[in-house]
Amino acid sequence: MSSMRKSDKQLHVAMFPWLAFGHILPFFELAKVLAHKGQVRITFISTPGNINRLPKIPRHIEPFITLVSLPFLHEHKASLPENGESTMDVPIDKAAELIMAYEGLQESLAQLLKSSAPNWILFDFIGHWIPPLAKSLNIPCAFFCIFPALDTCFFHIPKSHLGNPASFRTKIEDFFGPPKWVPFPSNIGLKFHEVKKIFGGPHFAQNDHEDTILTCDLFVYRSCTEFESEWLNLVGELHNKPVIPVGVIPPTLQVRDADEEDKNPMWANIKSWLDKQRHGSVVYVAFGSEIKIPQEDITEMALGLELSGFPFFWVIRKQQLSLTDLPNGFEDRTKDRGIVCKDWVPQLKILAHESVGAYFTHCGAGSILEGLNFGRVLVTLPFYVDQSLHARVLEEKKVGVEIPRNEQDGSFTRTSVAKSLMLAMVDEEGSIYRDKAKEMGLLFSDSHIQERYIENFIEYLQNYKLKN
Q: Which residues are identified as catalytic? A: 23, 124
**Residue 267 CA to its chain's centroid (Å):** 24
Phi-psi sector, 309: left (phi>0), alpha (psi -120 to 50), beta: left
Q: Helix (H, G, I), strand (E, B), or coil: what is residue 361? A: strand
- Residues ≥6 apart with Cβ < 8 Å to 114: 137
Instruction: Check if the beta carbon of residue 45 is closer than 8 Å to that of residue 14.
Output: yes
- Helix H or strand E encompassing 129: none
- Give the single-character DSSP code of 376: P
- Show the beta-strand stretches assigned E in 133-273: 141-145, 218-221, 243-245
Measure Cα distances from 378 to 149, 225, 257, 364, 430 in Å.
Answer: 19, 20, 27, 11, 12
Alpha-carbon span 371 to 245, nearest angstrom: 19
> 356-389: b or e for each residue (b if 16 or more CB lie within 10 Å)?
bbbbbbbbbbbbbbbbbbbbbbbbbbbbbbbbbb
Overall size of the chain counted in residues: 468
**Are residues 320 and 292 in contact, defined by beta-carbon separation less than 8 angstroms?**
yes
Distance, CA of 123 to CA of 101 (rounded, Å): 16
